[in-house]
């Protein structure tokens, strides 16, 4: 089950870079104005080399967030430099007239991970691991997985 081959996973499992971010908009008018650039930006993002998958989420009352997966960090950063993304970020960060807060986090996937069943490149069986992945304070293998 431990693997470095994610070739049979869904697109987000094949990604090595992930973007997590959210913006709290000023109100409904800001969100409506956002859509004018946002749809063009998403269209461009989906066409870019290295794009894998994204999902938008909403938190009451005016926060919209994004999870986006890319082949690697360079693909993610190339998207950040794109015309419509730059335009949107300039609009968002123009004082507090359009948005009142936001954050961005970038994550990199470790080369190794886990896969199972139909997503397992080494075979199609479902199986559990014998030892946990070691913590940073542990040396060698992690402790044994005890099944109930």
d(CA 88, CA 70): 20
d(CA 64, CA 80): 18
Contact (Cβ atoms closer than 8 angstroms) between residue 15 and residue 7: no
The residues spanned by each domain of the chain are: 1-8+112-147, 17-108
pLDDT-derived band at 2 (thresholds 50, 70, 90) equals: confident
pTM, rounded to two decimals:
0.87
CATH number of the domain at 17-108, out of 3.40.50.1820, 3.30.70.100, 2.40.30.170, 3.30.1050.10? 3.30.70.100
Digit-coded pLDDT (tens) for 77-107: 999 999 999 999 999 998 899 999 999 999 9
Q: What are phi and psi of 17, to 5 degrees?
A: -135, 140
> What does the block give as tokens for 13?
């499992």
Digit-coded pLDDT (tens) for 32-90: 999 988 999 999 999 999 999 999 999 999 999 999 999 999 999 999 999 999 999 99
Asked whether the bond before 61 is cis by omega within 30 degrees of 0, the reply is yes
């Amino acid at each position: 089950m431990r693997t470095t081959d994610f070739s049979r996973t869904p697109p987000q499992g094949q990604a090595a870079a992930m973007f997590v971010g959210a913006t709290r908009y000023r109100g409904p008018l800001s969100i409506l104005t956002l859509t004018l650039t946002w749809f063009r930006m998403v269209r461009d993002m989906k066409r870019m080399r290295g794009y894998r998958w994204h999902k938008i989420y909403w938190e009451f009352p005016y926060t919209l967030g994004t999870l986006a997966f890319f082949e690697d960090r360079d693909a993610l950063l190339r998207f950040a430099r794109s015309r419509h993304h730059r335009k949107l970020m300039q609009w968002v960060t123009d004082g507090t007239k359009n948005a009142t807060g936001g954050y961005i986090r970038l994550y990199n996937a470790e080369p190794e991970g886990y896969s199972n069943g139909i997503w397992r490149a080494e075979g199609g069986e479902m199986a559990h691991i014998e030892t946990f992945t070691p913590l940073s304070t542990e040396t060698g293998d992690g402790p044994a997985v005890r099944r109930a």
